[in-house]
Amino acid sequence: MAQRELVFRAVEVLAKGIVGAQGLRIDYRGVQNIPREGGVVLAVNHTSYVDFLEAGLVARRAGRWPRYMMKAELRQNLVIGFLMKHCKAIGVDREHGAESYHEAVTALEAGEAVIVYPEATISRSFELKEFKSGAARMSLEAGVPIVPIAIWGTQRIWSKGTDRRPGRHRYPVVVQVGEPIDPHGSPDDPAAVIALTERLRAAMGEQLLLAQTGFPAPAGEKWVPARLGGGAPTPDVAAELEREEFAQRRARREARGR
């Protein structure tokens, strides 16, 4: 545990250093809604390659050392693989997710905070996509609450379909934390899973709207949703782009296999 916390602290310092170097003006709202102890699912929307920094930092503001659920293939990266191992991140294999699911439930039952992205992949439209049921099933099986978290503004720095903007830019970012959602029912009851997933998506939608209220939305900008007059693709177009991307990935995997 000591080694894990040592690595966690090093990662926390690094994350704060990156945020400070970029000059990000992060507005953390509702941090008190994250329980200080006990198992909890921290459900976060996914609009950027860098929103994991803000997700971890808001958990730390609540006094938690979070465990991320991350793509298992990231372990192949030397640096990220080291961090995943020593921070006890839970590697998610999209083809065989049962093992990572049970690892997450075990962590929740042990009183840990687990960060989950219910959309699974980055939303190109920057609107909420359809949710996977994993977060709800974990909450039901472990008997722990889900806290909905909306992060807004990081897609301006680096995301799919936008220009990468490193360096010091002093962009505003909002991290909006909603009230915990208590689970009711069994993880083996499809109706209970669907109901909790829908409650979670509705709650995250509310937090996202709150985060967007008063936030700059320059017309035509790629990082601004079409609903707000921006140049991002609509949800339907974004879904088609994602299908094409996944098809290309499968084709490359099959080609490597041959």
Residue 255, number of CB atoms within 10 A of its CB: 8
Q: Which of 117-126, 145-154, 156-165 has the lowest mean pLDDT?
A: 156-165
Q: What is the pLDDT of residue 18?
A: 82
**pLDDT band for position 10 (cuts 50, 70, 90):** confident
Provide long-range contacts, Cβ within 8 A and 24+ apart, for 102-111.
104/67, 104/69, 104/134, 104/138, 105/138, 105/141, 105/142, 107/39, 107/67, 108/39, 108/40, 108/41, 108/138, 108/139, 108/142, 108/144, 109/39, 109/142, 109/143, 109/144, 110/39, 111/37, 111/38, 111/39
Burial status of residue 78 (CB atoms within 10 A of its CB: 0-12, 13-18, 19 or more): exposed
| Stretch 137-157: mean pLDDT | 97
Predicted confidence band of residue 110 (pLDDT cuts 50, 70, 90): very high
Residues of the chain above pLDDT 70, percent: 90
Total domain count for the chain? 1
Mean pLDDT, the chain, integer: 90
Please give the pLDDT value at position 85.
Answer: 56
pLDDT for 73 = 64
CATH number of the domain where residue 68 is located: 3.40.1130
Q: Quick one: which of 102, 101, 56, 94 has its CA closest to 74?
A: 94
pLDDT bucket at 160, cuts 50 / 70 / 90:
very high
On the question of pLDDT at 74 being above 60, the answer is no
With 60 as the cut, is the pLDDT of residue 169 above it? yes
Each residue of 93-110: b (16+ CB within 10 Å) or e?
A: eeeeeeebbebbbebbee
Domain that holds residue 78: 1-257
Is residue 258 over pLDDT 80?
no
Q: What pLDDT band is residue 235 in, cutting at 50, 70 and 90?
A: very high
Q: pTM of this prediction?
A: 0.91
For 65, which DSSP code?
A: -
Amino acid 184: pLDDT? 96
Per-residue confidence (pLDDT) for residue 236, from 0 to 100 = 97
Determine the residue type at 53: L
**pLDDT tens, 34-47?**
999 999 999 999 99
Give the integer Cα–Cα distance in Å for 121 and 212.
21
Confidence of residue 58 (pLDDT cuts 50, 70, 90): very high
pLDDT at 12: 81
